Amino acid sequence: MQGQFGIWIARRGWTAAFGLAFAASGVWAGDAAAVVPGNALVEGSLATAGGSPAADGNYGVKIGLYKDAQGGAALWAESASIEVKSGQFQHALGSAAPLSQPVLAAAAYIGIAVGSDPELPRKPLHAVLYAVRAGVAENIACSACIQAAHLDTQLANDIKNTIKASDLSDVAKSGNYADLQGTPNLAAYAKTTDLKKVALTGSYADLADKPALPKAGDVCGTGLVVKGLKADGSFDCTAGGGGSLPADGIAGVSNQLIFNTFVDKKAGTADVQIPDFAGPGVSDVVDFPDIGITKKVWVEMDLSNSDMSAIKIELYGPSMSTPYLLFNGGKTGNTLKAKFNDDTPLVSGDMDKDWVGKNIKGLWSITVRDLKDNTPQNIDGKFNWSVNIQTLSNKKIQIKGDLIVDGNITAGGTNPAQSGNVYYAGSFQTYSNGNGHWYASNNEAVFGGLNGSTWTDGNGHAASIGNDFNSLRTIFNQRRALAPNSVVCSEIWPYTSSTTGRVCGAVFRVKNTTGSAINWQVSFYYTSYSGWSETASLSINGASTWTSNNNAWPSTGVQVSVPVPPNKTSTVVVVAPSSPGYGNSQRDNYLAFHNNCLTLPNGLQYVDDYEVVQGPWK
């Protein structure tokens, strides 16, 4: 009589596989119990973590029987030395410490430890060990059993002759209710006058308390949805939203045009190789992301092997100590294509009970074992697999068909999204040479939070602008269409004095959609003149990234690496003032982006919210 269970686990560089079967050695007291063995044979293999058989030799093990899967003292235990040869070993359970019937009556789990390693996870005992209990019943002698041979022959004949057919009543012969004497009069219990009308007519219309049927043509008002039916058949209406619809009800009310249920999958390593007859098998892990709440989950498997009858597949979900058994042989051929928990049921475990309504994010591990020795140490097949999930998302929706919008589309609840990529620019002068005055009385409120004189005589630069978007919009308020290259300003005017300067610049709103900083290489030509305190500059979120320290005439090219921080929208400002006078005849103001630098690298995108965004930009 054979029974088996498996333990496969790695500890401190070892991997062990165990099986249990009753051995023929050892008996219980009593002749009748001699046919039921009193020992259990532990057979298995021991391998290194790399999958190679353990070196030949003796290894110490400790084996215990327990009442519970975890915790508690052992009901029985013994230590022994096992001999390992070619990775294989066996040991007779009970040979070192005798097994007793009370222990087997209470034990439900077995635990095994190799050497000084911790005990491997306990496994439940199968029915085979309980066969020893049956041996006890065989040893119970019958002390009051009466058999046919013990009866007196005359007594048997007297009993036979005493019971005569002629003495039996009619009902005993016919079994007919009509032959009973003293039968009750049932007429009083089923009178026609007592029956409800529907019992006589069979008509649905004669039912009392009929369920309400919807009235034809009845509708709910604008902005209302049906919650139920009233007693008179009219619709019971309620305001849409507010939890009155099921979480996935948007598909129904949108005529199947809007969905918030999605199917996502995460594939494991491609073409995982299956070694022939490797005890611990081969494993692969998928780290499933945080996608949403599970409505359905399944595992897709595409496997080939020389003999499918020897394949065993186990799956561990996040933080699971006991695996799902997906496949356990029993199939001919050499291929397996299945969607476990979808078109193919699991051998053991309940994925729906464990995961529907929950988030399956975390590590999913699959182990495939080839338990048959076809060609030792050869690769016997391969597999591809994936974890699949249907989710009810609270993070995204899908729209099928055309989207027609009356008015703006808002992103993030506040920012109007316009069509196309844009940036904002501006150009201004600060000094009137004709009358020798600063424009606007040098008022900083109309020069972006700086005095006009600071821009053209005091090295004003991008990071100096007032720390709110209204200050930026004061001087950079021209909406420009984006192209890979773009000229912001190109102006020439007669030279009259060093104070007569001009400033131009551009503002970009750029979002990094990733979790890491991305360097944006910004290439541009500019004018500046440090001799007259006119500084070109670039800043991001108010931090000065670059300033000029030269006399750029008629213009100078530069490339600046701009670190765009992760998971946010940033503000990039580029400013170019005037060049020095050429031969005391003219001055220039120039700013242009080139090298296709306005085509953003992957992970960055333009955000068109500059006209409405409020608050500090630094």
In a domain, 309, yes or no: yes
For residue 420, pLDDT beyond 60: no
Residue 323 lies in a domain: yes
Q: Indicate whether 132 and 279 sit together in one domain.
A: no
Reference 130, options 157, 158, 107, 114; nearest CA is 107
Count other C-beta atoms under 10 Å from residue 528's C-beta.
Answer: 30
Q: What is the pLDDT of residue 413?
A: 45
Query: Which pLDDT band, with edges at 50, 70 and 90, does 138 fall under?
Result: low
pLDDT over 50 at 493, yes or no: yes
Q: Say what the pLDDT of residue 223 is.
A: 65
Place 414 in a pLDDT band, splitting at 50, 70 and 90. Answer: very low
In the Cβ-directed half-sphere of 438, how many Cα atoms lie within 13 Å? 15
pLDDT digits (tens, 9 = 90+) for 534-585: 999 999 999 999 999 778 777 889 999 999 999 999 999 999 999 887 766 8
pLDDT of residue 101: 78
Radius of gyration, alpha carbons of the chain: 44
Does the pLDDT at position 422 exceed 80? yes
Same domain membership, residue 537 and residue 488? yes
Q: Which residues contact 120 (CB under 8 A, 6 or more apart)?
A: 7, 9, 11, 16, 111, 112, 113, 114
Nearest to 331 by CA among 356, 314, 348, 306: 306
* Domain range enclosing 256: 224-261
pLDDT-derived band at 139 (thresholds 50, 70, 90) equals low
Residues 317 and 333 in one domain: yes
User: Mean pLDDT over residues 490-508, rounded?
Assistant: 90
130: part of which helix (H) or strand (E)? helix 127-138
At 216, is the secondary structure helix, strand, or coil?
coil
CATH code, domain carrying 273: 2.60.120.260
Q: Which helix (H) or strand (E) holds 46?
A: strand 40-48
Encode pLDDT of 428-470 as tens digits: 999 988 778 899 999 999 999 999 999 999 999 999 999 999 9
- Which pLDDT score, from 0 to 100, does residue 525 have? 96
Distance CA 129, CA 108 (A): 10
pLDDT of residue 34: 45
Among 137, 164, 191, where does a domain finish? 137
Q: 388 and 290 share a domain?
A: yes
| 25-29, 47-51, 281-285, 460-464: segment of lowest average pLDDT | 25-29
Residue 586 in contact with residue 492, Cβ under 8 Å? yes
Q: What is the mean pLDDT of residues 476-494?
A: 93
Q: Is residue 402 part of a domain?
A: no
Residues in contact with 459: Cβ distance below 8 Å, sequence separation at least 6, in sequence order: 530, 533, 534, 535
- Whether residue 210 lies inside any domain: the answer is no
> Which of 444, 439, 420 shows the shortest CA–CA distance to 429?
439
The verdict on residue 146 lying in a domain is no
Under 8 Å between Cβ of 488 and 479: no
Report how far residue 505's alpha carbon sits from residue 423's, in angstroms, rounded to the nearest whole number: 11
296 and 237 in one domain? no
The 10s digit of each residue's pLDDT in 255-270 is 777 878 888 899 999 9
Count of domains forming the chain: 4
| Model confidence at 73: pLDDT above 60 | yes
365 versus 331: which is more confidently predicted?
Answer: 365
The C-alpha atoms of residue 102 and residue 384 are separated, in whole angstroms, by 48
In the 8-state DSSP scheme, what is residue 517? -
Q: What pLDDT score was predicted for residue 398? A: 78
Q: Are residues 81 and 93 in the same domain?
A: yes
pLDDT at 406 over 90: no
pTM of the model: 0.38
Q: Are residues 479 and 595 in the same domain?
A: yes
Within this chain, do residues 255 and 290 fall inside the same structural domain, yes or no? Answer: no
Residue 14 is assigned to a structural domain of this protein = yes
Q: Of the candidates 261, 282, 307, which is a domain's last residue?
A: 261
Is 115 or 382 the better-scoring residue by pLDDT? 382
Q: What is the CATH number of the domain that holds 80?
A: 2.60.40
| 255 and 298 together in one domain | no
Which pLDDT belongs to residue 143?
56
Same domain, 132 and 22: yes
First-to-last alpha carbon distance for the chain, in angstroms, is 79
Indicate the residue among 86, 121, 137 that finishes a domain.
137
Kindly state whether residues 483 and 566 are assigned to the same domain: yes
Instruction: Please report whether residue 28 resides in a domain.
Output: yes
Same domain (yes/no): 509, 569: yes
101-117 pLDDT, tens digit each: 788 778 888 888 888 88
Asked if the structure places residue 150 within a domain, the reply is no
